[in-house]
Every structure is written in structure tokens, then in C-alpha cells.
């Protein structure tokens, strides 16, 4: 544990509420690191509705999910929180010295005085292919995200899905991109359950052009089984809308069905839960484990409403609740950002 990052606070989840938690902690001079399983901050606002307007943020008559996230990121800039994205918090353990040991799926470790769970509806995980026997090939021949594109060079690829990820990767790996494309596949077959796509129209048009030029193939249908040979996956059974099942041979399968949230490891940290939500008090938003707080959609208390507005309020009170763990000797006073020279200093607006 020698290289664990030592900090005052670890925030699990970089949705709008986790981001604002950085701000409220920063005003009290509590240093924070923030972690999200997604590769970008913003939580549901970015994952589910980046371009939709939100009308109930106080004093902001209208902003989109993306604008809210961008503004929160700007607002918390002065506090220089450490961002650790694309990794899920898997372990939270209380130690004998009162601090918490926190570890992520990428092996990043922290020793922290307080933990703020802002995990929303859970960490977003790729939806998987629901076909018998597929699990044992996940990571070797079946993939839900592209970690290293070079792995697919020169291979016969079956790409399943109708959104931007499926189309972008199909075009990327397609033979027609051969000019200097180091990841060119041997062949690309795209499979989608219907001849209509959620992906950008320009990508769909390009895909159709490539199909006409016989550079790739598009099949309407759904994966219903796999074929195996010599302990390897050798093909996928695709059932078309005509009810006929065809075997499509391939070396590698890439399935992009979007992301779905799962409470995941949060359920294993010994916190009192009620219907998959973390029980907190409404004075400090502290959980059943002293030093661990829960804010935003992930918590529950009498009268809870899952609104961004409520989450922001919870962040302020949780920060005050956490201060005695970080500064046991210090008396914390409420100060106004308009008039406090001390807050101007921490905000860098002197
Ligand atoms: P989330 O936004 O869910 O973020 C939680 C983050 O935690 C996620 O990014 C997740 O990946 C991460 N996470 C979870 N577990 C882990 C883990 N173990 N390790 C690492 N990361 C983890 N609210 C309003 O107030 N006004 C509106 O107009 C409004 N419109 C909405 C429209 C839609 C379509 C939807 C779906 C929701 C809307 N909401 C609205 C609700 C609002 O989006 C949520 O209340 C808000 O996103 C909650 O923020 P959060 O930070 O608590 O959680």
C-alpha cells in the first residue's frame, strides 16, 4: 500500500452530484479525489441526456445535460480535485487507524479520511450478448468495448449494434480505410436487428456506400447462438427477420448494445441499504458507517426526491458533516462566498 494516494476525501461517482461535492468540500478546504467507471464525468446527464434541456436548476432557466456538466467542471476547477476515470471503485474498507482503504478496478489505491458515495443509479456497464456459452469467450473473442484496436487488425470481425459505437468501429476497421489504417480488419460484417440506426446519419450513409462497394457487409438479424471449433468461437448464429438462422463465421465479435447501470460493488461495503439505496440521516447524509457519506440518487431518507437540486443540498450538509473527521481540532463556521476573504482565497478570486 506504499503507493496509495493519501487524501481527505474520495468521491465515488462523477455525476452532477459527485462533481458538486468537490465544490462543497473545497470551500471547507477538504481535498478530494473523484472516481467514475465511465471514461468521462457527468453521470446520467452525459450518458442519458446530454442534449436535453433541464429547467429546474435554481437560477439557470435552461441548460442541457452537457452544459450543466461543463459548468460544474468549471466551477470546481479551483479545487484541483484528482480525477480517476474509466475505473470502478471495487473496495472500500475501514482500517484500524479510522481511515478508509479504497481501491479501483484498475488497481488505483487510496487512503482517505472520508468517503462520499455519489454513485447515482450505479456504475454504467456495457449490456452483454445474451447467448448461451458466450461468457467464456468474453475478453478473448467477444468484446463490449475496444481497449486495443490493434488486437483486431487482420481479423474477420462481426460487429453487432446500431448505435454510434457499432458504426464508428465498423467504419474504422473496414478494409476501405486501408490507407495508413494500422487496424484494418480482414473483413467486417455488421449485424443489427433492423435496417434503421440510432447512429449519426453520415456514418450510416458511409456504411451503406462501403457495402455497395463490397468492402463490408450488413445483415439484418439477431445473434441467437454461437458456433465453436477446437475450443474457440468460430462463428455466430444470426436469425434474420425471415426467421432463418444463418451461421456467420468470424474470429472476433464486437457487440455494442449501450450501457446499463448496476449498483455493483457499492452493495458490498457493509452500508445499510433499503431497496438498493443507501440509508442516510438528513443532518449530515452520513451512512450507517461513520465517515462514509452518500449523496444524490444513490441515497434514501424520508421524503427523498431524486433531483439534482436535492443532491446539491445534500453535498453542502455532507461536507460540514465530514469536516470533523478531517479537522478534528477546528471549529467550522459557515461563510458566504460573496463576502468571505478566506473563501475568495480558496476560490482563487482575490
Ligand atoms: P448519476 O448521474 O447517476 O452519476 C453517478 C455516477 O457514479 C455514474 O457516472 C456512475 O458511472 C458512477 N458510479 C456508480 N458506482 C460507481 C463505482 N462503484 N465506481 C465508480 N463509479 C461509479 N433531474 C433533475 O433535477 N431535473 C431534470 O430535468 C432531470 N431530467 C432527467 C432526464 C432523464 C432522461 C433522466 C434519466 C434523469 C433526469 N434527472 C433530472 C435525474 C438526474 O439526472 C439525476 O437525479 C442525477 O443525475 C443524479 O446525479 P448523481 O450524481 O447522484 O448520479
- HSE at residue 175, side-chain half, CA atoms within 13 A, is 15
Q: Which residues line ligand 1 (CB under 6 A)?
A: 12-18, 35-38, 43-45, 48-49, 54, 56, 88-89, 118-124, 264-266, 296-298, 306-309, 311
Q: How confident is the model at residue 148 (pLDDT cuts 50, 70, 90)?
A: confident
Cα 69 to ligand 1 centre (Å): 11
Q: Are residues 245 and 314 in the same domain?
A: no
pLDDT at 246 over 70: yes
Q: Are residues 90 and 27 in the same domain?
A: yes
pLDDT at 67 over 90: yes
Q: What is the total count of domains within the chain?
A: 2
257, 286, 316 - which closes a domain: 257
How far is residue 180's CA from residue 332's CA, in Å, rounded to a whole number? 60
pLDDT at 178 over 60: no
Cα 18 to ligand 1 centre (Å): 9
Nearest to 45, CA basis, from 71, 10, 27: 71
Q: Are residues 168 and 74 in the same domain?
A: no
Question: What pLDDT score was predicted for residue 233?
Answer: 97
Q: Are residues 121 and 265 in the same domain?
A: yes
Question: What pLDDT score was predicted for residue 1?
Answer: 63
Question: What pLDDT score was predicted for residue 259?
Answer: 80
Residue nearest to atom 34 of ligand 1 (CA): 49
Q: How confident is the model at residue 176 (pLDDT cuts 50, 70, 90)?
A: low
pLDDT at 21 over 80: yes
User: Out of 229-238, 256-265, 306-315, which region has the weakest mean confidence (pLDDT)?
Assistant: 256-265
- Ligand 1 atom nearest to 307, measured from its CA: 25
Question: What pLDDT score was predicted for residue 51?
Answer: 87
208, 242, 257 - which closes a domain: 257
Q: Are residues 191 and 107 in the same domain?
A: no
Question: What pLDDT score was predicted for residue 145?
Answer: 85
**Is 36 annotated to bind ligand?**
yes
Question: What pLDDT score was predicted for residue 10?
Answer: 98
- Ligand 1 atom nearest to 90, measured from its CA: 18
Residue nearest to atom 30 of ligand 1 (CA): 54
User: Do residues 32 and 118 lie in contact, with contact meaning Cβ atoms separated by under 8 Å?
Assistant: no
Question: What pLDDT score was predicted for residue 2?
Answer: 64
CA–CA distances in Å: residue 105 to residues 43, 85, 87, 90, 123: 18, 11, 6, 6, 12
Q: Domain limits at 308?
A: 5-125+260-347
Cα 16 to ligand 1 centre (Å): 7
**Is 252 annotated to bind ligand?**
no
Residue nearest to atom 41 of ligand 1 (CA): 307
Task: Specify the pTM.
Answer: 0.78
Question: What pLDDT score was predicted for residue 337?
Answer: 95
Question: What pLDDT score was predicted for residue 173?
Answer: 93
Q: How confident is the model at residue 169 (pLDDT cuts 50, 70, 90)?
A: very high
Q: How confident is the model at residue 179 (pLDDT cuts 50, 70, 90)?
A: low
Nearest to 37, CA basis, from 120, 136, 99: 120
**Is 242 annotated to bind ligand?**
no
Q: Are residues 109 and 29 in the same domain?
A: yes
For 164, the 3-state DSSP assignment is helix
Question: What pLDDT score was predicted for residue 47?
Answer: 86
- Ligand 1 atom nearest to 122, measured from its CA: 14
Q: What is the mean pLDDT of the chain?
A: 94
pLDDT at 7 over 60: yes
Most confident of 45-59, 169-183, 292-306: 292-306
- N-term to C-term CA, the chain: 39
Mean pLDDT for 331-348 is: 94
Q: Model confidence over 208-221: pLDDT tens digits? A: 999 999 999 999 99
Residue nearest to atom 53 of ligand 1 (CA): 120
Mean pLDDT for 212-241 is: 96
Mean pLDDT for 38-54 is: 91
How far is residue 95's CA from residue 102's CA, in Å, rounded to a whole number? 10
Q: Are residues 149 and 120 in the same domain?
A: no
pLDDT at 181 over 80: no
How far is residue 64's CA from residue 80's CA, in Å, rounded to a whole number? 25
For residue 330, give the CATH number of its domain. Answer: 3.50.50.60
204, 233, 257 - which closes a domain: 257
Q: Are residues 137 and 253 in the same domain?
A: yes
Cα 121 to ligand 1 centre (Å): 6
For 60, the 3-state DSSP assignment is strand
Q: Are residues 244 and 272 in the same domain?
A: no
How do beta strands 245-249 and 232-239 pair? Answer: antiparallel
Nearest to 89, CA basis, from 185, 182, 18, 191: 18
User: Out of 97-101, 153-157, 176-180, 186-190, which region has the weakest mean confidence (pLDDT)?
Assistant: 176-180
Mean pLDDT for 123-131 is: 88
Q: Are residues 251 and 132 in the same domain?
A: yes
Q: Are residues 294 and 233 in the same domain?
A: no
Question: What pLDDT score was predicted for residue 258?
Answer: 86
Cα 276 to ligand 1 centre (Å): 15
Question: What pLDDT score was predicted for residue 255?
Answer: 97
Q: Are residues 135 and 253 in the same domain?
A: yes
Residue in 10, 11, 13, 297 to alter for ligand 1 test, most ligand atoms within 8 A of Cβ: 13
Amino acid at each position: 500500500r506504499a503507493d496509495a494516494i493519501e487524501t481527505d476525501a474520495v468521491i465515488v461517482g462523477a455525476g452532477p452530484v459527485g462533481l458538486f461535492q468537490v465544490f462543497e468540500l473545497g470551500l471547507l478546504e477538504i481535498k478530494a479525489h473523484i472516481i467514475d467507471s465511465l471514461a468521462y464525468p457527468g453521470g446520467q446527464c452525459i450518458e442519458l441526456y446530454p442534449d436535453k434541456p433541464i429547467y429546474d436548476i435554481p437560477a439557470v432557466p435552461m441548460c442541457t445535460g452537457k452544459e450543466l456538466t461543463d459548468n460544474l467542471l468549471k466551477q470546481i476547477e479551483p479545487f484541483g480535485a484528482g480525477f480517476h476515470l474509466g475505473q470502478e471503485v471495487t473496495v472500500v474498507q475501514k482500517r484500524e487507524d479510522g481511515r478508509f482503504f479504497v481501491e479501483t478496478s484498475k488497481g488505483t489505491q487510496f487512503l482517505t479520511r472520508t468517503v462520499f458515495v455519489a454513485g447515482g443509479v450505479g456504475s454504467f456497464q456495457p449490456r452483454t450478448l445474451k447467448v448461451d456459452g458466450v461468457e467464456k469467450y468474453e475478453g478473448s473473442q467477444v468484446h463490449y468495448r475496444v481497449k486495443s484496436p490493434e488486437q483486431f487488425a487482420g481479423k474477420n470481425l462481426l460487429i453487432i449494434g446500431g448505435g454510434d459505437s457499432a458504426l464508428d468501429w465498423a467504419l474504422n476497421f473496414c478494409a476501405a480505410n486501408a490507407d495508413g489504417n494500422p487496424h484494418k480488419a480482414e473483413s467486417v460484417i455488421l449485424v443489427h436487428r433492423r435496417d434503421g440506426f440510432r447512429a449519426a446519419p453520415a456514418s450510416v450513409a458511409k456504411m451503406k456506400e462501403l457495402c455497395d462497394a463490397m468492402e463490408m457487409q450488413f445483415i439484418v438479424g439477431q445473434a441467437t447462438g454461437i458456433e465453436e471449433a477446437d475450443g474457440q468461437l468460430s462463428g455466430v448464429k444470426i436469425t434474420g427477420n425471415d426467421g432463418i438462422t444463418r451461421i456467420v463465421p468470424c474470429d472476433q465479435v464486437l457487440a455494442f448494445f449501450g450501457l446499463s447501470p448496476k449498483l455493483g460493488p457499492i452493495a458490498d461495503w457493509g452500508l445499510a441499504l433499503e431497496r438498493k439505496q443507501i440509508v442516510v440521516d438528513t443532518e449530515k447524509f452520513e451512512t450507517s458507517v461513520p465517515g462514509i457519506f452518500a449523496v444524490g440518487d444513490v441515497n434514501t431518507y424520508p421524503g427523498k426526491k431524486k433531483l439534482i437540486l436535492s443532491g446539491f443540498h445534500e453535498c453542502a450538509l455532507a461536507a460540514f458533516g465530514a469536516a470533523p473527521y478531517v479537522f478534528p481540532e477546528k471549529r467550522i463556521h459557515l461563510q458566504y462566498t460573496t463576502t468571505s476573504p478566506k473563501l475568495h482565497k480558496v476560490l482563487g478570486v482575490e
